[in-house]
Structure 1
Amino acid sequence: MLFHKISLNNFRQYYGEQTIQFQASNEKNVTVIHGENGAGKTALLNAFNWSLYGITDLPDSDKMINNYAVEKATDGRKVEMYVEVEFESKDVQYILRRSVSGTKYGKELQNMENSILLQYYSGGQWKKLSNPKVEVNRILPENLRNYFFFDGERIDHLSRHEDNEEIREAVKVIMDLEIIERGVKHTEDVKKEFQKEWASFADEETKQLLTQQDSLKSQRQELVGDQSQIRQNIEYRTNQIQDIDNQLALVKGISEKQQERKDIEEKLQSQKDALSSTQINLRKTVSKQGYLAPTHLLASKLNEKLSNIDVSQKEPFPELTKSLIQSIIDKGVCICGDDLCEHKTENLKKLLETVATDNQNASMNTLKTQIDMVLDNRERFLEVLKENERNEYQFKESIVDHENKLEEISAELSNRQYENVPDLEKNRRAYLDEVAEYNKKLGVIEHKIKDLDLKIQEVNTQINKQQQIQEKAKLAKRRLDTCEKLTSVMGKIYSLKEEEVIKDLQEKIQEVYAQFLRKGFKITLTNDLHLEVRNHYGERVALSQGERQITSLSFIGAIVDIARKHYQKKSSDIISEGGIYPLVMDSPFGALDSDHRHRVAKGIHSLSEQIIVVVSTSQWKGEVEDAFSPYIGNQYKLSYHDPRQQNGDEAFEYTEIKRM
C-alpha cells in the first residue's frame, strides 16, 4: 500500500479543501510535513485513520466538522466534511472517500449523514466496491493501524513484556501467515461437515466411534486451551519476577545479595536439568534392560541341570552329527577315501537314526557361554543402574541445598528495611509460588492430553477398520481424508514460513537496532515473539523512554522492510507473501537526543518504499534535516492562523497546508 494523495475538506481545523501529494520513488521516497504544536499535526495523522477506518484518537471525536465552516454556512445550508485518499495496493489503484454532512439550523447541524465510497481502477474505468470496510481491512487491517500511522513519542509499548501477542498478530498479518492460518481453520470446519456427512451414512458401530472421537477431540481442545492460558500465566508471572529482580538489583546494599541469588538460581536450574536427564536415562535403562535383573536365578537352574546331563551315556557317538553322516551317505565316499559298499551304507543309515541333529557337547558349551554373557550384561546393567541412582540422589540433595539457600536469601531480604524491598520480596515469593502451582497444573494437563491422544489414535484405528458399503459414505470418507491431509500440509507450510519469517525478522531487527542505537545493546526476537534487549553481559536492561522508542521503531521498520523483500521475491501467486507498506510518523524524534536523531533519520528512509514524516521545527533543524535532505520528494508546511492576530471575517482558527 502506497499513498498518492490525501485531501481534507473541513476536517477539524482544516477549513476548506487542503491537499498533500506524497512521494514514493526509489530515490526520493520521503514526504516531510512541518508543523508547530497546535498546528494540526495530530489531526493530520488521524485523518488517515478516519478515512480508512472511521476512527480517531482525537479528543471530542464527535466534533469532526470545522467550526468556521459551520459558522459561515447560512441557515438551511448543507455543510460537508470529508477526507479522500488516493492509494495503490499490489498494482491496483484506489480512491477512498469518507464524509459526514449535516444541515445547519440555528447554530447546530442536524440530519447528519455518513457515507463512504471506495473505487478501484480496472479496464480503463473506475468501479465501485460494495464492501469498502472489508476491502480496506484486507489491504491494511485496522488492528495494525498503529504500526503504520503512529505518534513517535508513544510507540514504546512494543518493547514491553505484555505486548508479545500484539507483535505475534502483526507478524502473522503483515507477512500473510494469517492467510494460511485461516486456510487451516476453514479446512477444519469443512472437515467437520464431511465427518457429519460420513456419519449419516455409516453403520451404528461407526456412528458410535465417530461420536466418541468427536467427544475426545473436544476434551483435548478444551485442555489445549487451558494449557495455553496457563503458559501465558506462567510467562506473565515470570516477567513480573524478572522485573522485580531488576528493581532489586538497582537498590544499593541489595545488589550483591541479588546477584548471589541469581547465581544460585542458575545452579539450581542446572541441577534440575541434570536430574531430569538422569531420570530419563534411568527410565530408558530399566525399560530396555530391566529383564536382566532376575536372569541370575534362571542361569543358576540351567547350570544345575546341564551339570547333571551325561551326554556320553545317552549318545553312542556324542561328537558326531547327523549332517556329517548324511553328507557321507550322499557322496558315497568314506572319510578315508574308499567307496561305500551297500553293507556300510546300511550301517551308516542305522547310525543316523541314533545320532543327534547337532553336536550335543558343542550345543551345551554354547548355551553355557551365552548364559555367562547374559550374567555379564546383568552386572553391567546393575552398575549403570546404581550409578544413575547415586547421581539422582546427589542431584536431589544439591537441589534441596540450593532451594534452602534461596529461602534464606528471601527471608533475609524480607527483613531488610531498604526502600520497598520487603514488599518486592513478598510479591516475588507469591509469584514464584503461583508459577510452581501453574507448572503442576501444566504437568497434569500434559499427561491428560497424551492420554487423550492415545485414545483418539485407538478410536481412529477402529474407525479405519470399519467397512462402508454405500458409495456416498466412501466419497465422504475420501473427502474427509483429503481434508486431514490438507490440514497437515498447511500446518507444515505455516510452521516453515513462520520459522523463515522470524529468522529474517530477527536478523533485520538486529541490523536496524545496531544502526539506530548508540549503545552496543543486543536485541533479540524470541521464538515466542518477545523483544528482549540485553547488555554486553547478557543481562536484560531497563530502557529509557528514548531507548524504548528506538526499540519499537526498529521492530516496525524491520517488519515493513522484511514484508517488502518477501513480496518482491515471491515465486508464485498461490500464497501471497508480505507486501509494500508506508510509514506515517508524527514526531518520531521527540524523545531522542541529537546523536540518536541523526542515526534514525539517516537510516529510516531505506526501510520502506514511502516515508511520511510530520515534524516540528525544533525536531527538524540540524541533524535530522541534514540526514533526510537527499531523500525528500515533497515538503509541506502546516500554517496555523491564530484568530487573535486577525481582524474582521478572517478572525477564526484554521490550518492551511502550503507546499514548500
Structure 2
Amino acid sequence: MKIRQIDLYNFRQFYGTTKLALACEDDRNVTLIHGENGLGKTTILNAVYWAMFDDVTPRFEQKNRIVNFEAEKEGIREAKVEVEFEFNGEIYRASRTFSIGSAKTSFLLYRIDRGSHVPIRAPETFVNSVIPKAMARYFFFDGEHAETFAAEKNQTAGAAVRSMLGCDLAEEGMKDLKAVAGQYTKQTGDGGGDDELKSLRDKLTELEDQVARDEADLADQKKSVEQLSEQKSLIDEALRLTAGASEVQELRDGLKTREEQIERDVRERQAELVRWIGEKAITVLSKKALLETASFVDSEAVEGRLPSPYREDFIQSLLHRENCICCRDLKPTTSEWNAVATLLKTAGNTEAESRLARVRIRLHTFQELARNAPNQLSSTQERLGQLLEERRGVAAELGEVSKKLEGLDLHGVRERERARGEIEKNLGQRHQRIGDLEATIRNAASRIDSLAQEIKVKGAKNERTRTIMRKRQLALDAAILLKSRLERYESRARSAIEGEINDILERTARRDYQFKFDDDFSMALTHSDIDGPVPKSGGENQLMSLAFTAALVRFSKERVGNTDELLSPGTVAPLVLDAPIGHLDQSYREATAEFIPEMAGQVILLLSSAHMSAGVYDALKARVGKEYVLISENRRAREGKSNDPIALNGRNYNQSLFNQERNLTRVEEVA
C-alpha cells in the first residue's frame, strides 16, 4: 500500500480544502513536512489514521473537536479527510466525514476505475484486509510519545509483536475453544440420576466460569496498564517541556531509574538469602554433629573397627570348607567352629565398606559447606543492608524532588505531578491485581484438572458422560495446541526483531549497545562493560522505540504472502513519523536520518525547525520526493513576534504570518 494523496476539509487547523500529494517513487520515497509546534504536524499524522480507522493517537487532544474552529464559527458543521491510496495495482479513495452532533462518523470507500468511483461494499472490512487495525497503530509513530515502548517495565512491545504476527484470529479461536469446552462441561451428568456426578459437574462449571471471568479481567487490567503507561509518558513529556521544571524532572527521572535498579538488586539479594536457607542452613546448624560424626568414623577406623578387620564372605568360606587357615578342622558344634562363627557378628561386607566410603566423602562435603556458608551469608546480608540504606536515601530524595515539582509556581506543573502520582499508584494496584489474577488462574487450572479426572472416573460406566468428556478434552487440547503454536511464532518473531534492532543500533548508536527483550517483552539495553541493563536517557529510549518500530515494519513486510492458516498475513504500508528525532542529540539525529528512508517503502516525515539541521537535511535530501512547509496565518498583529523564517532549497519561508483574514494553517509546497 502507498498513499498517493491526503485531502483535508476543515479538519482541525486546516481551514477549507488542503491537498498534499505524497512521494511514491521507490528511490525518492520520503515526503518531508516542516512545521513548528502547534501548526498541525500531529494533525496530519492523525488525519490519515482517523480517515482509515476512526481512531487517533494518545496525544491528539480534544478528540471530538474535529471541525476547524473558524469554519465552525461560519456555520460549517462537517469535517472530512480523504486518502487516495494504491493497493495491488488498483487506486482507491477512502473518505471519512465527521458531523457535529452525530454520534458516529460516516465512512465510504471507492475503487477508481478509469475516472469512475466504484463503491466498495463493507469498506471497513476491506481496509482491514489492506492493513489490519491491530497492526496499523504501529505505522503511525508519534516521536514526542516515543518512550511508551522503551520505558522501564513497559510490556506493550509484546502486544505490538503479536499484532504484527496477526495472532488475533488464533487468540479468539483459543477463547472460543475454551468456551466450547465449558459448554460440554455443563452437559455432563444431565442424562442420569447420579447426584454426586452432578455435584462434581456443578463445581467444575463454576470454576471454569470463574476462570473465564478472571481471564477477561486480566486482559482488561493489562489493557488498562498499557493505557495508563501512555498517559504517564504524556505527563512526563509535558513536565519536561514545562519551563523551569525540566532540570528537576531530569533529576527525578534519574532518581527513579536508580530506585528501580536498587529494587532489582534488593530482590536478587533476598533471593540469595532464601537460597542460602534452603541449601546451607541445615549444614551450618548441624556443624557440631558433623564434626563429632567425622571424628567417630576416623577414630573407629584407626582402632580397626571401621571397617571391620574381618570380611563376612571370608568367614563364611572357612565355615563352609570346615577348615581353618591354620589347617585345623572346623566341625559344626565344636568349640573351634563356634569361635569362628562368632566373628560373623562384627564382620564387614563390600556394601558396608562402600557405604562407609560414601559417608566419608559426604561428611567432607558438608564440612566444606559449613566452613564457607557463614561468610557467604555475612556478605549477602551486608550487601542487602547497604542496598536497603541506599533505597531509603533515594526514596527520601525522590520525595523532596517531587515536592519541588509540586511547589513550582508554573502553570500545570503541580496538577501534572499529582496526576502522575495517581497514575503510578493506579499502575501499582493494577500490577498487583494482574499478579493475583495470574496466580488464581494457575491454581484454578490444577483444581479443574482434578475435578475433570473425578468426573471421568465417576462417569466411566456412562457412555454419554464419556463421550462428552472426550469432546471437552478435545476442545481443550486444540486450545493448548493453538497456544503452543503461537508461542513458537512469538519466539521466532522476538529473535527476528531483536536482530533487526541490533543491526540498526550498530549503525546509529554511539556506544556498543546490545538490545534484548526480557521475558515480559519489556526492552533493555546492555553493554559488555556494564552489569545488568543500562539506564537509558530519553534520547536512547526514543532511538530504541524508533528502531523497534522500524523492525516491526520490516517484519510485517517479510510476512507479506504468509500462508499460515493461524496468522494474518503481513502488510506493506506507509510509515508516518511525527518528530521521530526530537529527543536525540545532533550526532544521533544525523545517523538516524540516514536510515529513516529505509524504514518503509513510503515515509511521511514531519519535523520542526528545532529538529532540522544542515546535517539532518543533507542525510535526507537525496530520498525526498515531496517537501512541504506548514504556515500559520494569524488574525492578530505581529507586535514584535518572529515570522519564524526557515530556509529551504535556497528560498526563505515565513512560517508565521500576521494580520491575516483567519486563524489557520496552510500548506505550501517547497520548490
Q: Report the TM range for the smaller structure's normalisation.
A: 0.5 to 0.7
Q: Please say if residues 98 and 106 of structure 2, whose CA atoms lie closer than 8 Å, have aligned partners that are also in contact.
A: no
CA distances 1:216-273 after superposition (whole Å, capped 9, x unpaired): 667888999999999x99xx9xxxxxx999749999xxxxxx99x9999978866865
- Superposed displacement of residue 592, structure 1: 2.6
Query: What residue in structure 2 maps to residue 163 of structure 1?
Result: 154
Secondary structure of the 2:149 match is: helix
- Superposed displacement of residue 536, structure 1: 3.9
Query: What residue in structure 2 maps to residue 255 of structure 1?
Result: none
Q: Please say if residues 516 and 554 of structure 1, whose CA atoms lie closer than 8 Å, have aligned partners that are also in contact.
A: no
Query: What residue in structure 2 maps to residue 116 of structure 1?
Result: 106
Structure 1 residues 396 and 42: alpha-carbon distance in aligned structure 2, compared to 1, 3 A threshold: same
Q: Superposition pairs for residues 305-454 of structure 1, below 5 Å?
A: 372-380=349-357, 382-383=359-360, 385-386=362-363, 389-390=366-367, 393=370, 397-406=374-383, 408-409=385-386, 420=397, 453=446
d(CA) in 1 for partners of 2:197, 2:400: 61
Q: Superposition pairs for residues 29-68 of structure 1, below 5 Å?
A: 29-51=29-51, 52-55=53-56, 57-68=59-70
- Superposed displacement of residue 82, structure 1: 0.7
Look up the equivalent residue of 1:48 and give its one-letter code.
V
- Superposed displacement of residue 9, structure 1: 0.5
Segments of structure 2 that go 5 or more residues without pairing to the other structure are 230-250, 284-307, 323-343, 402-427, 639-656
- Superposed displacement of residue 406, structure 1: 3.1
Secondary structure of the 1:81 match is: strand
CA distances 1:297-333 after superposition (whole Å, capped 9, x unpaired): xx9xxx79x96998799xxxxxxxxxxxxxxxxxxxx
- Superposed displacement of residue 639, structure 1: 3.6
Look up the equivalent residue of 1:7 and give its one-letter code.
D
Q: Superposition pairs for residues 291-306 of structure 1, below 5 Å?
A: none
Q: Superposition pairs for residues 565-580 of structure 1, below 5 Å?
A: 565-567=558-560, 570-572=562-564, 574-580=566-572
Secondary structure of the 1:529 match is: coil
d(CA) in 1 for partners of 2:453, 2:88: 45
Q: Superposition pairs for residues 8-23 of structure 1, below 5 Å?
A: 8-23=8-23
Look up the equivalent residue of 2:397 and give its one-letter code.
N
Instruction: Using the aligned pairs only, state the percent identity.
Output: 21
Query: What residue in structure 1 maps to residue 542 of structure 2?
Result: 549
Query: What residue in structure 2 maps to residue 505 of structure 1?
Result: 497
- Superposed displacement of residue 486, structure 1: 1.2
Structure 1 residues 387 and 22: alpha-carbon distance in aligned structure 2, compared to 1, 3 A threshold: farther
Structure 1 residues 267 and 2: alpha-carbon distance in aligned structure 2, compared to 1, 3 A threshold: same
Secondary structure of the 2:571 match is: coil
Query: What residue in structure 1 maps to residue 170 of structure 2?
Result: 180
Q: Please say if residues 215 and 441 of structure 2, whose CA atoms lie closer than 8 Å, have aligned partners that are also in contact.
A: no
Secondary structure of the 2:575 match is: strand
Secondary structure of the 1:119 match is: strand
Secondary structure of the 1:162 match is: coil
- Superposed displacement of residue 547, structure 1: 2.2
Secondary structure of the 2:449 match is: helix
Structure 1 residues 201 and 626: alpha-carbon distance in aligned structure 2, compared to 1, 3 A threshold: farther
Structure 1 residues 38 and 530: alpha-carbon distance in aligned structure 2, compared to 1, 3 A threshold: closer
Look up the equivalent residue of 1:11 and give its one-letter code.
F
- Superposed displacement of residue 89, structure 1: 6.8
Structure 1 residues 595 and 381: alpha-carbon distance in aligned structure 2, compared to 1, 3 A threshold: same
Aligned residues: 541
d(CA) in 2 for partners of 1:191, 1:418: 50
d(CA) in 2 for partners of 1:533, 1:137: 34
Matched, 1:656 2:633: no
Secondary structure of the 2:67 match is: coil
Which of the residues 141, 149, 154 maps onto 2:145? 154
- Superposed displacement of residue 62, structure 1: 4.2
d(CA) in 2 for partners of 1:163, 1:19: 38
d(CA) in 2 for partners of 1:59, 1:219: 38
Q: Please say if residues 633 and 660 of structure 2, whose CA atoms lie closer than 8 Å, have aligned partners that are also in contact.
A: no
Structure 1 residues 417 and 377: alpha-carbon distance in aligned structure 2, compared to 1, 3 A threshold: closer
- Superposed displacement of residue 490, structure 1: 0.9
d(CA) in 2 for partners of 1:201, 1:604: 66
d(CA) in 1 for partners of 2:208, 2:217: 14
Query: What residue in structure 1 maps to residue 611 of structure 2?
Result: 619
d(CA) in 2 for partners of 1:276, 1:245: 38
Q: Please say if residues 265 and 387 of structure 2, whose CA atoms lie closer than 8 Å, have aligned partners that are also in contact.
A: no
Query: What residue in structure 1 maps to residue 81 of structure 2?
Result: 83
Look up the equivalent residue of 2:603 and give its one-letter code.
I
CA distances 1:539-596 after superposition (whole Å, capped 9, x unpaired): 433333322221221111112222222335x354553243324321122233333321
Look up the equivalent residue of 1:162 and give its one-letter code.
K
Which of the residues 178, 185, 189 maps onto 1:195? 185
d(CA) in 1 for partners of 2:550, 2:512: 19
Look up the equivalent residue of 2:602 and give its one-letter code.
Q
- Superposed displacement of residue 613, structure 1: 0.6
- Superposed displacement of residue 614, structure 1: 1.3
- Superposed displacement of residue 659, structure 1: 3.6
Which stretch shows the higher mean deviation, 175-184 or 488-497?
Answer: 175-184
- Superposed displacement of residue 48, structure 1: 2.6
Secondary structure of the 1:200 match is: coil
d(CA) in 1 for partners of 2:218, 2:42: 43
d(CA) in 1 for partners of 2:120, 2:571: 24
d(CA) in 2 for partners of 1:609, 1:169: 24
d(CA) in 1 for partners of 2:218, 2:202: 24
When normalised by structure 1's length, the TM-score is: 0.66
Q: Please say if residues 139 and 575 of structure 2, whose CA atoms lie closer than 8 Å, have aligned partners that are also in contact.
A: yes
Matched, 1:522 2:514: yes
Q: Please say if residues 176 and 576 of structure 1, whose CA atoms lie closer than 8 Å, have aligned partners that are also in contact.
A: yes
Which of the residues 549, 554, 557 maps onto 1:561? 554
Structure 1 residues 389 and 458: alpha-carbon distance in aligned structure 2, compared to 1, 3 A threshold: farther
Look up the equivalent residue of 2:578 and give its one-letter code.
D
Structure 1 residues 183 and 447: alpha-carbon distance in aligned structure 2, compared to 1, 3 A threshold: closer
Structure 1 residues 461 and 249: alpha-carbon distance in aligned structure 2, compared to 1, 3 A threshold: closer
d(CA) in 2 for partners of 1:415, 1:115: 53
Structure 1 residues 391 and 628: alpha-carbon distance in aligned structure 2, compared to 1, 3 A threshold: same
Secondary structure of the 1:150 match is: strand
- Superposed displacement of residue 69, structure 1: 3.1
Q: Please say if residues 188 and 201 of structure 2, whose CA atoms lie closer than 8 Å, have aligned partners that are also in contact.
A: no
Query: What residue in structure 1 maps to residue 94 of structure 2?
Result: 96
Structure 1 residues 521 and 113: alpha-carbon distance in aligned structure 2, compared to 1, 3 A threshold: closer
Secondary structure of the 1:542 match is: coil
Look up the equivalent residue of 2:635 and give its one-letter code.
P
Which stretch shows the higher mean deviation, 195-204 or 170-179?
Answer: 195-204
- Superposed displacement of residue 602, structure 1: 0.6
Structure 1 residues 588 and 598: alpha-carbon distance in aligned structure 2, compared to 1, 3 A threshold: same
Q: Larger Cα Rg: Structure 1 or Structure 2?
A: 1
- Superposed displacement of residue 649, structure 1: 12
Query: What residue in structure 2 maps to residue 496 of structure 1?
Result: 488
Query: What residue in structure 2 maps to residue 7 of structure 1?
Result: 7
d(CA) in 1 for partners of 2:478, 2:79: 50
Q: Please say if residues 4 and 21 of structure 1, whose CA atoms lie closer than 8 Å, have aligned partners that are also in contact.
A: yes
Structure 1 residues 644 and 208: alpha-carbon distance in aligned structure 2, compared to 1, 3 A threshold: closer
d(CA) in 1 for partners of 2:316, 2:494: 71
- Superposed displacement of residue 55, structure 1: 4.4
d(CA) in 2 for partners of 1:382, 1:25: 80
Superposition RMSD on alpha carbons, in Å?
5.4
d(CA) in 1 for partners of 2:214, 2:63: 43
Q: Please say if residues 414 and 423 of structure 1, whose CA atoms lie closer than 8 Å, have aligned partners that are also in contact.
A: no
Secondary structure of the 1:541 match is: coil
Q: Please say if residues 269 and 383 of structure 2, whose CA atoms lie closer than 8 Å, have aligned partners that are also in contact.
A: no
Q: Please say if residues 96 and 116 of structure 1, whose CA atoms lie closer than 8 Å, have aligned partners that are also in contact.
A: no
CA distances 1:91-113 after superposition (whole Å, capped 9, x unpaired): 887543222346xxxxxxxx667
Which stretch shows the higher mean deviation, 31-40 or 388-397?
Answer: 388-397
Which stretch shows the higher mean deviation, 12-21 or 404-413?
Answer: 404-413
- Superposed displacement of residue 8, structure 1: 0.5
- Superposed displacement of residue 208, structure 1: 4.1
Q: Please say if residues 131 and 571 of structure 2, whose CA atoms lie closer than 8 Å, have aligned partners that are also in contact.
A: no
